[in-house]
Amino acid sequence: MEVLHFLFGIFGNMTALFLFLAPVVTFRRIIKKRSTEDFSGVPYTMTLLNCLLSAWYGLPFVSPNNILVSTVNGAGAAVEAIYVVIFLVFAPNKGKAKMLGILALVLSIFASVALVSLLALHGQSRKVFCGFAAAIFSICMYASPLSIMRLVIKTKSVEYMPFLLSLFVFLCGTSWFVYGLLGRDPFVAVPNGCGSALGAMQLILYAIYRNKKGIPGDGDGAADKCNGTTSPMKMNGKPEMV
């Protein structure tokens, strides 16, 4: 059982890293054009918060036997921090002010959770407090593709829902869901179970609409929408749709 627990954690790390790196194409475009255009930086700051909270939850003094949760989310936090810095460099002044405000909020939330867990809580109560915080933001991140799924149904086209990203959302969510079940950890299993289910729904939609041409005109502006505020992430990273 421990071997399976470890193997699913390793597989979860691999799939999550793929999802973390998915926005690289978007940021290459931002750097090349030296402009953030109509892209939104909000998904990257929120993913940063999720990674920070999940990495903190996986630390041995918070949640024993979950070090693989910390490793992948620690790496994810580093990647997302790079995305946020790049966005701040090339965003217009108004966009920078908004991003800095959101980033300050994100760091304040993480610092508050970390300080409360260290100074006021111990043992199981510390694990429960940090687990709830990490799980809530993981579920929010996994729920972000709902707008894209709605767009697919409306336009009858999967143009803005890449198959590989949908596949890795499903694989990532499923692997961490099983990891949480084997480790009897609801704070890992529940949010990633939601991610697995949403990933499966995306794959079903892809199977239904993959050969459809879509409804002319209904996709206008969809690229900006999908590249902006509707990026999904995993857990665990749980990723952005670009």
**Digit-coded pLDDT (tens) for 59-108:** 999 998 888 899 999 999 999 999 999 999 998 888 889 889 989 999 99
Placement of tokens 């939104």 in the chain: 40
**The pLDDT of residue 221:** 43
3 state DSSP class of 37: coil
Question: Alpha-carbon distance 103 to 109, whole Å?
Answer: 10
**The pLDDT of residue 60:** 92
Higher pLDDT, 78 or 35: 78
Mean of pLDDT over the chain: 82
**The pLDDT of residue 49:** 92
Question: Alpha-carbon distance 94 to 170, whole Å?
Answer: 36
**The pLDDT of residue 220:** 45
pLDDT above 70: residue 165: yes
How far separated are the first and last CA of the chain, in Å rounded? 37
**The pLDDT of residue 214:** 58
pLDDT above 60: residue 237: no
Could you tell me how many residues make up the chain?
A: 242
Spatial contact of 169 and 12, defined as CB atoms under 8 Å apart: no
Question: Alpha-carbon distance 22 to 14, whole Å?
Answer: 13
Question: Alpha-carbon distance 86 to 23, whole Å?
Answer: 12
Closest CA to 80 of 57, 93, 99, 98: 99
